[in-house]
Structure 1
Amino acid sequence: MRHRPWHHVTMIVRKRWLVALVPALLAGAVVATLGTIGTSVKAPVANTNATGTPGTTQSPTDRPTPSPTPSASPTQTATAAPATGTPVTSSTAASRSKPAVHRALPALPAIGVFGGSSIAQIAFGTGQDAYLGHTSSSVYVEINDYEHGRVGQIHAANSATKVLVYAEVQTEGPNSCQWDANPSWGVSYCYATNNHPEWFLLNKSGQRAQYTDNGYYMMDLGSPTYQAAWVANEIAMAHRDGFQGIEMDDVNLSPGHGTDGTLAKYSDSQYEATVQAFVAVVSPQLKAAGLLVSANIGNANPWDTNALNESVQIAASLSIYNHEFWMRWQQGTPLMNGAEWAASIHMEETIQNTGAAFTALTYGSINDVTAMRYTRASFLLGWNGRAGSALIYRPDPDLVDPYAADWTTDVGAPSGARYAVGIGWRRDFAAGTVVINPAGSGSQTFDLGGNYRMPDGSVVSSVTLGPTSALVLPAA
């Protein structure tokens, strides 16, 4: 996430998935330029030598955002959507690897529906908490511990909203120790240095291993004493400051952040097993303490079958599985289409089939209505209708109210499975319908068979969508 410090919010999630009910044609093998989660947020409560003052609003230095490995991809062209009069904007293709094979999506099986909000918000940057918008409609709001003064306001707006606190599973550097009173990490750098230097992982040169993008120090997530200290601090902090859950960051399926293949103690595959073990130990303790457990899972691209299997394993321990970079890598990069889009929907369904909720995080401009509509429609096509899963649209720059009707439109619970319409897809809901054209080229007309309200308030019974565009349409 992109912890600015999520304190930063930079999760880059590469998620990997297994098969659920739905047969997968996940044969489009590809690539990975997986960004890694970069976030730092939360502070240890117990066993720290804190010098910070409770309630401070400073945060660590912002981290740079990693970008995917370049690879050529076709340029998308802007297309108008004739029936709606709304231009379907598209971005110039960014360098990204893409699955080579387009696969069809099987229909979603019948599901039980329990309703509930399906949007959420995060506010991790310094001052970002002042720009939370319309929190009453969010199932989750995620903030740093130094922003805990906002918890009461969020609950006053809607007592059902769950407020989660950001928690880095690694640790920041020595300069972060001044914030240990309200930190964004489960174990303080200074506490570990003074009391448990063995908790720091070393690289093959014998130095403390650090992320190359933000300088965070890698901790031994396989150490039972580290696990015990981390979870005890998180539980104490969450209870002290009124949070209902923990958002763990840098729960990566490989070391990540430029450190793959560099650790002395673990190979990359051993590191993945260590992360699985960490989550399997701390999650039950957090849940037993009455807390929701969310994790931003890094290094798990939707089209990576091995990553999918590993994600299914880790999701079984979680309340919420967070997928960063939903339907695009970063603001300004193209929206995913074709096989990438299909694999992402499959990932959403697969994770929900484990019993965990699925949160999807997209970065984009507050003015990019095309991205808002596309990411919302995509999320709704794969949503199982149960409370807990949600979409998060994160504006960049983040010091704006993120709330906009185009990514929060409510059409109620699903009333059936999605179904193909030419090169597009449609799904009906209790209070509206969703239509999407996830193809990289070509337009698709949808005869809606009824009257639906467009974003501009007009009423239509048919719409035509250009490539990589969508609409969420309430019934008129």
Structure 2
Amino acid sequence: MSARRHAALHPRPHSPHLRRLSSRTIQLLLVVVSLVSLSGFSARAALAAGDRDIYIPVVSTPNPAPTGKSVRQPLFWNKPKDASVETTASRASFIALPRVERSYRDSLRAKGFSGKAVQYFLANEVHGPGPYADASASCDSSLTPHVNQVAYLQGDFCRYLHPNEGWFLHNGAGKRLYSWSGGRVMYHMNPASAGWRTFALSRMVRDVLGDAVQGKLGFDGVILDNLALSTYKLRKQVDNSDGTIKEFGSDAAYREAVRGYLAILSGTLRPTGVIWANIIDDYRVSRDDYMGYVQYLDGWMNEAWVVSWNSDPLSDAEYNTNLEIAELTLQQGKGMIGNVIGSRYDYNRQAFGLASYLLITNNSKAYFRYSDPSKYGEWWQYDNYNVALGAPLGKRYAISGGWRRDFECGYVTTTPSARSGKIVYSCR
């Protein structure tokens, strides 16, 4: 903020500006002062006869500093082991938890938490025995499945999924794509399969809305983890990847299938329940491709927002795309979670992430967290989460090497190429 703008917004209290005036001039000035006082200003003058010097102090009162915090915090995946229920309830504005954490969720609500609480589901992965290459394998129905995916009841995999080969994705050799995760076999499912779509929807409906088998669990909706924007992970990173996905020859075809899957979920779960998603494989994906998913969602999370998973900073264009997607989402009345990854005591990186968030936040449905994905059980807190900058004076604008946004009580800047950010608070 320029010195001139700062002075205009925050005049120094009780600093008199003295004027030497003749008595004739004083008479005119008193008329002006009387008119000005009608607009909320006051002045005191002592008038003496003759041409004696008259001193009129002009006193300005600064606007009070805002009290509302500029940062809204989310809590997701794990309940924190380093924060009490009372502390978490007072700081969290949005929570995402698995179905087994309903008691903890209810404890937060009892202590005053009033935000959305959504239930975690893997978007297109299921836990099962094996790994099995195809449906010809004998299926072990004794497996106790993990609760973070839709086939969460014992026997679900063997009864509903295993016999339906078209529900699965396959590598170039025709074998089911799978990953080992935490000692579990996770199969990757086909978002274009009508059978898979129907089964996944039925389990989400059961938990969120309730059905003939079970009453609703009390969540406000769902969050779909690992909703991919490309086939990179499937082609390159799962345990039996061979560079090919039998069902999809291009990223565009895969995205079209996912959009169809989301449309099915959205048509039933919404608007009674909300749908959020942790969107992955978004590196160098266009804004339009990203927003193609957002049309079916109430909000999204980017787990490596504005920094990516790479060691090098994003290019200026890539960084700006991250901000533009967030701005477009918020303009549509939807939400976003910007999760910036880094080490706990890398304060410069944390400040860069937070300043980036402040460039785009509407202080309503935008949420920020700085964390290490391997330590989601820790809910790191920083002093700058308490900053109260007041209302933004406009949108972000370009400056040399980066971006800036002005607020009632300060400003923020970022330099993407250096992953640096500054948060300046000017009210006292």
TM-score bracket for this pair, using the shorter chain length: 0.5 to 0.7
Question: Contact 2:358/2:412 (CA < 8 Å) preserved in 1?
Answer: no
Q: Which residue of 1 aligns with 2:415?
A: 438
**2:351·2:420 contact (CA, 8 Å) conserved in 1?**
no
Cα distance, 1:117–1:238 mapped onto 2, change above 3 Å: farther
Work out which structure has the larger RCO, using CA pairs closer than 8 Å and 6 or more positions apart in sequence.
1
Give the superposition deviation at 1:361: 1.1
Aligned to 1:387: 364
1:418 matched to 2:396: yes
Matched to 1:195, the amino acid is: Y
For residues 158 and 335 of structure 1, the distance between their equivalents in structure 2, rounded to whole angstroms, comes to 39
The residue number in structure 1 matching 2:192 is 222
Spell out, residue by residue over 1:61-82, the C-alpha distance to the aligned partner (whole angstroms, 9 max, x if none). Answer: xxxxxxxxxxxxxxxxxxxxxx
Count matched residues: 327
Are residue 280 (structure 1) and residue 263 (structure 2) matched? yes
Are 1:324 and 2:303 counterparts? yes
Shift of the 409–144 alpha-carbon distance from structure 1 to 2, 3 Å rule, reads farther
Does 2:285 match 1:304? yes
In 1, Cα distance between the equivalents of 2:219 and 2:170? 33
Q: Deviations over 1:257-295 (max 9, x none)?
A: 24265222222332221111101110231214x222101
Residue deviations 1:209-258 (CA, integer Å, cap 9, x gap): 12477752111222223222212212322353321121101211223424
Aligned-pair CA distance for 1:386 = 5.6
> Is structure 2 residue 222 aligned with structure 1 residue 246?
yes
> Shift of the alpha carbon at 1:168?
0.4
The alignment partner of 2:188 has SS state of coil
What are the ranges of 5 or more consecutive residues in structure 2 without an aligned counterpart?
Answer: 1-67, 131-140, 210-215, 237-242
Aligned amino acid, residue 310 of structure 1: D
Residue 204 of structure 2 corresponds to which residue in structure 1?
234
Instruction: Pick which of 250-259 and 311-320 moved more.
Output: 250-259
1:393–1:402 Cα contact (<8 Å) kept: yes
On the 8 A contact 2:69/2:386 being kept in 1, the answer is: no
| Aligned partners of 1:118 and 1:390 also within 8 Å | yes
- C-alpha distance 271-368 of structure 1, shift in aligned 2 (>3 A): same
Give the partner amino acid of 1:207: K
Change (3 A) 1:408 1:317: farther
Q: 1:230 to 1:437 in 2, by over 3 A?
A: closer
Q: Secondary structure at the match of 1:221?
A: coil
Q: In 2, Cα distance between the equivalents of 1:362 and 1:390?
A: 11
Aligned-residue offset at 1:412 = 3.5
1:265 pairs with 2:278: no
Given the alignment, which residue of 332, 342, 354 partners 2:320? 342
Aligned equivalent of 2:26: none
CA distance in 2, matches of 1:245, 1:408: 29
Alignment of structure 1 residues 365-404 onto 2, 5 Å: 365-383=343-361, 385=362, 387-395=364-372, 396-404=374-382
Does residue 121 in structure 1 map to residue 99 in structure 2? no
CA separation of 1:190 and 1:208: change in aligned 2, threshold 3 A: farther
Question: What one-letter code is carried by the residue in structure 2 that aligns with 1:201?
Answer: L
Q: Distance in 2 between matches of 1:416 and 1:259?
A: 43
Q: In 1, distance between residues paired with 2:315 and 2:386?
A: 21
The 1-side partners of 2:223 and 2:316 are apart by 31
Query: Greater share of helix residues, 1 or 2?
Result: 2
Distance in 2, Cα, partners of 1:177 & 1:377 = 50
Query: Which deviates further from its counterpart, 420-429 or 154-163?
Result: 420-429
| Cα shift at 1:121 | 2.7
126, 135, 143: which one aligns with 1:171: 126
Q: Alpha carbons of 1:235 and 1:136: their partners in 2 closer, same or farther (altered >3 Å)?
A: farther
Identity of aligned residues (%): 20
Structure 1 residue ranges (4+ consecutive) displaced by more than 6 angstroms after TM superposition? none
- Within the alignment, does 1:185 sit opposite 2:149 as a pair? yes
Contact kept, 8 Å, 2:77 with 2:376, in 1: the verdict is: no
Question: SS of 1:392's equivalent?
Answer: strand
Q: Show the counterpart of 2:170.
A: 202
Report the equivalent of 1:156.
110
Code of the aligned partner of 2:423: L
Based on CA coordinates, which of the two structures has the bigger radius of gyration? 2
> Which residues in structure 2 correspond to 1:19-30 (within 5 Å)?
none
Aligned equivalents of 2:294, 2:256: Cα separation in 1: 14
* Letter matched to residue 216 of structure 1: M
Cα RMSD for the two superposed structures: 3.0
For residue 127 of structure 2, give the secondary structure of its aligned residue in structure 1.
coil
SS at match of 1:226: helix
